[in-house]
Amino acid sequence: MLLARSEIGRAKLRFGLLAGAVGLLVFLILFFQVLLGSLITSFIGAIREQSAPVLVYGEDARQNVAGSIITPPQVEAIAAVDGVAASAPLGEATFTMVADGEQVDASIFGFQPGGPGEPTNVVAGRLPAAPGEALASRESAQEGFGLGDTVSTASGGAELVIVGQTANSLYSAAPTLWTDFDTYGELRRAVNPDAAAVLPSLVAVQPADGVDASTLADRITAEVEGVEALTRDDAAARAPGVAEVNTSFFLVLGLTFVVVTLVVGFFFLILTVQKQDALVLLRAVGASPGYLIGNLFTQIAVVMGLGLLVAYGLLALFVSGSDAGLPLTVSVGTVLATSVAVVVLAALGASVAIVRVVREDPATVVSRQSLGGLA
C-alpha cells in the first residue's frame, strides 16, 4: 500500500506518538491481567493445586476454609455417599512459625499422603513421606522456607524439615506448607494442648469413575447434613475476596479497553477528516473504495503492531523485575487473546473514519470552488 507507507513516512512523529500511546495502554491491560492472576493465585493457589476434584466444607463456613470444621460423623457420612471413590481429611490453620530466626505467619495444610487433597504442583524435592516433613511454597523460599530448611512453630511445636517445594500454591497470600495430617495435628495440639481432638477443616473427595464432580458435590450437599460440597474450581472462585478482586480489576480492564478504542478511533477519524477531500478526489480519479480502505487498515496495522511491540517489551521488563514473593506469570494465551481483542476494537473504533471515506460522493467534492469546481 504505497499511499499508506508514504503518509506514514511524512508523519513519522505523529504515528510514532500514537503507537507509543497505544503501547502504554495495551501494557496496562496486560499488566493488570498478569497482576490479577498473580493476586488470585496467592490467595487460593493451594485450593487449585491439590488433587481432590471435590472439597466438602462445613455448612456455616460460607466457603471459607479457615472457618470450616467437619465432624467425625460427617466424615463417615461423606465417605458413604454413592459415587465417592475415596475421601480424606484436609486441615488448614495459620501458625506463627520461626523461620531463619524470624517469626512469620504461615498457612499449614494437613493432608493424607496418597489420598485426595494432596498437593500436585511439586517443582523441587518430593512430597512429605514421614512425620516432621513438609512441602513449602517456592515463593516463600526467601523467608526461610527453602528446600532443606528447618522451621518450627513459635509455640514450641514439632520442627518441620522442608523436603520439597510447590509452585503457585500459596494460600491467603502467606507462606504455605503441606504436611501429613498427623504432623498437622501435633502442631495444632502444641498451640492448644487442651484440644480433645483435631478436626479436619475440609474433606477432600475423589469421585468414582464416570461420576461428574459437580453432580457428586450436589449429592453430598443434599445427603449429608451440615456440609456444603464444591468442585475444586467453584471452591477457588467462591473463596472470600476473590469475587471482589475480580470485579475491581475487570472494571479497570474494561475502561482501559474503551480508552484504547477511543484513542485509535479518534486519531484516525481526525486524520480522515483532515484529508477527506483528498481521499474523495482520489476516488474521483479512479481509486476504488477498497483501495482507500486497505490503506487505512494498513496504517492501523502499523500503529497497532508497533504499539504491541512496545507493550510486550514493557511487560517483559516488569515481569523480569517482579518480587519473588509475588511472581508475575505471563500466560501466552492471555497475551494473544488480549492482542487480538485490542486490534479488533481499534479497527472498530476507526470504522467511523472508513464510513466517511466510502459514503462521500466524489461529485460533491469535485464541484467545490476551493478545489476548482464551478459550484
pLDDT of residue 372: 47
How far is residue 346 from each of residues 1, 12, 24, 257, 289, measured CA to CA in Å? 19, 20, 15, 9, 20
Element (H, E) at 362: helix 362-366
Would you call 210 helix, strand, or coil by DSSP?
A: coil
Number of H helices, E strands in the chain: 12, 10
pTM of the model: 0.77
**Which amino acid does the sequence have at 239?**
A
What residues does each domain of the chain span?
A: 2-43+242-371, 46-237
Nearest to 361 by CA among 266, 290, 301, 279: 279
Report whether 65 contacts 194 (CB < 8 A). no
Strand partners, 137: 166
The neighbour count for residue 41, using CB atoms within 10 Å, is 22
Specify the pLDDT at position 13. Answer: 84
DSSP label at 171?
A: B
- Extract the C-alpha cell encoding 265: 478511533
Distance in angstroms (rounded) separating the CA atoms of residues 112 and 109: 10
- The pLDDT value given to residue 367: 57
- The total of other beta-carbon atoms located within 10 Å of residue 348's CB is 12
Best CA proximity match to 306, nearest among 18, 96, 1, 7: 18
Are the C-beta atoms of 110 and 117 separated by less than 8 Å? no
Mutual angle of helices 289-320 and 276-284, in 10-degree steps: 140
Residue ranges of the chain whose pLDDT lies below 70: 1-4, 7, 156-157, 271-287, 289, 322-327, 353, 356-357, 360-375
Neighbouring CB atoms inside 10 A of 374's CB total: 7
Distance (Å, rounded) from C-alpha 87 to C-alpha 51?
A: 11
